[in-house]
Amino acid sequence: MLKAIEITEVKPYQVTCRFNNGELRLIEMEKIIRDSNSFVNKQKLLEPVFFKQAAIGVFGQLYWDNAAYFKNENGELIPCEFDLSPEFVFHHSTIV
């Protein structure tokens, strides 16, 4: 199973990750963020200080805490993480 295992560098709208297959890859995030659905807090993610809070989750996903929302059964917006699967990150990135 493909997983991101380490973030080696975060610049505005770019994240470089090492994967469990040994590859170091760079993903450009600005277009991905801007094209994301309405439940993503785009303004927050596009703030350079917040963007630097990128993290790797237990399943190898790239994520930011409290950068998206979902609606509960009462229609209330609940904050949640914005995440990208390791496969998505791998296939939308370039080798460094």
Residue 38: the pLDDT is 84
Average pLDDT value for the chain: 96
- For residue range 1-45, what is the model confidence (pLDDT) as tens digits? 999 999 999 999 999 999 999 999 999 999 999 999 889 999 999
For the chain, the domain total comes to 1
Contacts of 41 (CB under 8 A, 6+ apart): 66, 67, 68, 69, 82
Give percent above pLDDT 70 in the chain. Answer: 100
Integer Cα distance of 20 and 74 in angstroms: 40
- For residue range 39-79, what is the model confidence (pLDDT) as tens digits? 999 999 999 999 999 999 999 999 999 999 999 999 999 99
Give percent above pLDDT 90 in the chain. Answer: 98
Q: What is the CATH number of the domain that holds 49?
A: 3.30.2020
**Domain encompassing residue 33:** 4-95
* pTM (2 d.p.): 0.92
End-to-end C-alpha distance for the chain, whole angstroms: 21
